[in-house]
Structures are given as structure tokens and as C-alpha cells.
């Protein structure tokens, strides 16, 4: 991911009201390892159900506010994140909804998906198995997963924007 600044983040958010933007918290951008990310994802430290996803679609920076379900999925089961396709214990995956952009969002319409509760998909895809005959080069696996995350983020944001995928 290319580096972004706080002002760029504020101007790229496609589904937030001016009031939402005023109370938004930001991660420590100076600590971010940009080369190891497909997107910038973080949970709001002041609003425990809010999270944010910021990513590039070509040359366009796009950002989304998402809201996590207030309850966790029950333990003892597995769940899969829709972005990184990582299977993990169910409480580590949460249903997130995103207000739709524009008039539809103002009417309360949302779209939802299951995501890693900590929004740390970029870290998870870099945990690779040891190289073997079946997986000769872990960097190929990471590149494949990285491309998948970027495609799924774009598709999810298109749903927020009500853009027809066809």
C-alpha cells in the first residue's frame, strides 16, 4: 500500500457524515509498515464498534467506516473473514456493516460482511506455512492473497457506493 496522510484519509471516506469525521480517531501513521499492507484498517479507540478501512483502487484513495456487531460469535466454532479468507476462532471474526454512501446511507441502508475483528488481515496473510513441495515459495502465496484482499475490498466498497459490478 502507498503511504497516506491524515488529511488524505479525511477526504477519501465515502460513507461518513461531517459529524462522523469530526469524532474519528486515527492510528499512528508514523508506525505503519506500508509495504506490508493491502489496506489500512483500524478500530476506533473512542467508539468500540467503529472501524475504518482505507485502501487504493487504482489511483483513487477510498475509505469506509464500518461498524462491528456488539456481540461476538460464540466460541468453540470457526469463522472465516470475507477479506483475507483466514479461518480462525469465531470470536476473532465479527459481522461488520457499512452505511451506504449518499442518500441510501442517509436513509439507514447498509451492507455487511464478516471481517477479522481487529481488521488486521494484512498481518494474517503474511503468516505462512514453511516452504514445502506443495508451497515452494511463500511470497507467491502472499502475493495471491494480497491480490484477493484488494479485489474484495474494491467489490465491498462498490456495494457501499451502489456501483453495479457488471
With respect to residue 1, please indicate whether it lies within any of the assigned structural domains: no
Helix (H) / strand (E) containing 6: helix 6-12
pLDDT digits (tens, 9 = 90+) for 113-159: 999 999 999 999 998 877 777 777 888 889 999 999 999 999 999 99
Q: What is the pTM of this model?
A: 0.92
With respect to residue 68, please indicate whether it lies within any of the assigned structural domains: yes
Distance CA 60, CA 67 (A): 23
Domain of residue 49 covers 6-161
* Pair 165, 154: CB distance under 8 Å: no
Count of Cβ atoms closer than 10 Å to residue 92 Cβ = 19
| Regions of the chain short of the pLDDT cut 70 | 165-166
Distance CA 18, CA 38 (A): 26
pLDDT value for 165: 59
With respect to residue 166, please indicate whether it lies within any of the assigned structural domains: no
pLDDT value for 96: 98
Cell of 124: 494474517
User: 144: exposed, middle or buried (C-beta count within 10 Å: 0-12, 13-18, 19+)?
Assistant: exposed
Q: How far apart are the first and last CA of the chain?
A: 26
* Pair 98, 64: CB distance under 8 Å: yes
With respect to residue 95, please indicate whether it lies within any of the assigned structural domains: yes
Distance CA 145, CA 84 (A): 7
With respect to residue 134, please indicate whether it lies within any of the assigned structural domains: yes
With respect to residue 47, please indicate whether it lies within any of the assigned structural domains: yes
If one counts the domains in the chain, the total is 1
Amino acid at each position: 500500500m502507498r503511504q497516506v496522510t491524515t488529511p488524505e484519509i479525511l477526504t477519501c471516506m465515502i460513507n461518513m457524515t461531517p459529524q462522523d469525521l469530526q469524532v474519528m480517531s486515527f492510528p499512528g501513521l508514523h508506525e505503519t509498515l506500508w509495504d506490508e499492507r493491502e489496506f489500512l484498517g483500524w478500530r476506533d479507540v473512542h467508539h468500540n464498534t467503529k472501524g475504518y478501512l482505507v485502501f487504493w483502487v487504482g489511483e483513487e484513495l477510498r475509505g469506509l467506516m464500518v461498524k462491528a456487531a456488539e456481540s461476538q460469535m460464540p466460541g468453540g466454532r470457526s469463522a472465516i473473514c470475507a477479506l483475507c479468507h483466514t479461518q480462525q476462532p469465531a470470536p476473532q471474526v465479527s459481522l461488520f456493516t457499512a452505511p451506504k454512501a449518499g442518500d441510501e446511507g442517509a436513509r439507514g441502508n447498509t451492507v455487511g460482511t464478516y471481517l477479522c475483528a481487529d481488521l488486521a488481515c494484512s498481518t494474517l496473510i503474511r503468516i505462512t506455512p514453511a516452504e514445502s513441495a506443495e508451497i515452494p515459495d511463500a511470497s507467491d502465496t502472499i502475493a495471491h492473497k494480497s491480490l484477493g484482499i484488494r479485489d474484495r475490498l474494491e467489490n465491498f466498497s462498490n456495494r457501499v457506493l451502489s456501483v453495479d459490478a457488471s
